[in-house]
Structure 1
Amino acid sequence: MWHDVFISPSAINQAMQLVARQRARGEVLNCLRAFLSWEKNAPLDVGFMVSKLLLTIQLCPNTEFQSSEKFGEDLSDNTWEYISAIDLLCCHQRWVWTHDNIISKELWPVMDKWIKYRKGHANIAYTPDIIVASVLRLIGRLGQLGLKEGFPSAVKNISAVIGMFIQHAQDEDIPWGIQLAAVYALCDLSPSNPEEIAKILEAWRQETPRSVPAAVLGSLEEVRALCAPERS
């Protein structure tokens, strides 16, 4: 099984090899080096690989939302693989690096450009909705790293921005796939501010004229459950 995993050309395999190459020691390192022929290839920089994966997501041809009865307008399997690979690499680099180099410098600028384009700013290139949805889902995933490492204030700041985005979703006519991605992301970040996030999500659920997918309803229920200990 491990042979198949390590010889796969997938993004996950590349990320696993990079992390293993940096973490392995002693005999384990020697075995992996021989088995995977690492001597023949110079080690990649983590930051370079993350940027490469983000660029792959943005340039992937014919990427569209995948319709799912359970999840709604979801990302493609390939995009999820890239997101998982980025998540793995960022976990290896830890939160401060992830926040400063990926969320702040790579992900927020994509959101900013998309918003400015919708508002009619000149000289701003169009960003496909699926890319914005991918960025939101990735922010949600990476924000969980901040929660695990004990940076709730930083994650709360991120959740506040996404919460504001969701609160204006109906007025701004935000595409449904992006709304769902923002809601999923806010659910991922909900431990940073469960009471406020629960209110935002419930207001969104009541205001939206669309049928809310089952997976979203389940996530909203989990957020409400986080509030129960605070009230007791």
Structure 2
Amino acid sequence: MGHELLQSLCRVYVGLCQKRGDSHKAHALAYRFLKEDFSQAPKLIMVMVTAWPSVFSCNSPLCRAIHIVCKMKAYGKMYYLLSKFLHWDTEPPGDPYRAITSTLKALLKDKSLTFQKSSWYGDDLCPAAWDYVFSLDLLCAQLGWIWTVSHVIRY
């Protein structure tokens, strides 16, 4: 698939997410681009931000992880543009090691995390728990780490 077509599809998808008010699906798309080490991930994140400027402005663990990993992957002009559009000059993304530590601490302290019924899966994690899971997965994968229920392992 050509890059122009991929960018157009990304812009349309994010526009639909914005119209529906579903930032979680837009975050999942960014997560997938970054997690799969897609070569054009920073450029596609930029397309997402130009289509929906506030898509990554919430203070969730996954948004912080997206900022951190995007900053690690972007370079040159794309780094400059992302830093302007994502306001890294006023709110720097931070360190991935500290983000993992703070996310794990927050996960352990968060008393609002519950299981919920799912028509497809029976019992499932609540959306806030999935936010923690995906943020840890993204950060650990970027650092070459594996995380399990009981350990974070660097290899």
Tell me the TM-score normalized by structure 1. 0.40
Q: Which one of the candidate residues 31, 48, 52 is aligned to 2:81?
A: 31
* Structure index of larger Rg: 1
- 1:91 correspondence with 2:141: yes
* Counterparts in 2 of 1:41 and 1:69: CA distance versus 1, 3 Å: closer
- Residue identity in the other structure for 1:108: S
Identity in percent: 25
- Residue identity in the other structure for 2:75: R
Alpha-carbon RMSD: 2.7
Equivalent-residue separation in structure 2 for 1:93 and 1:34 (angstroms): 25
Q: Which one of the candidate residues 26, 34, 44 is aligned to 2:94?
A: 44
Deviation at 1:67, TM superposition (A): 2.2
- Residue identity in the other structure for 1:89: L
Given that 2:65 and 2:138 are in contact with CA atoms closer than 8 Å, whether structure 1 keeps it comes out as yes
In terms of fraction of residues, the more strand-rich structure is 2
- Residue identity in the other structure for 1:36: L
In terms of fraction of residues, the more helix-rich structure is 1
Aligned pairs for 1:163-178 (under 5 A) are none
- Residue identity in the other structure for 1:7: S
* Aligned residue pairs, count: 105
Q: Which runs of 5+ in 2 are unaligned?
A: 1-13, 15-48
- Residue identity in the other structure for 1:40: T
Q: Which runs of 5+ in 1 are unaligned?
A: 110-138, 152-232
Deviation at 1:68, TM superposition (A): 2.5
Structure 1 partner of 2:110: 60
- 1:70 correspondence with 2:125: no
Between 1 and 2, higher relative CO (CA 8 Å, sep ≥ 6) is seen in 2
Given that 2:83 and 2:89 are in contact with CA atoms closer than 8 Å, whether structure 1 keeps it comes out as yes
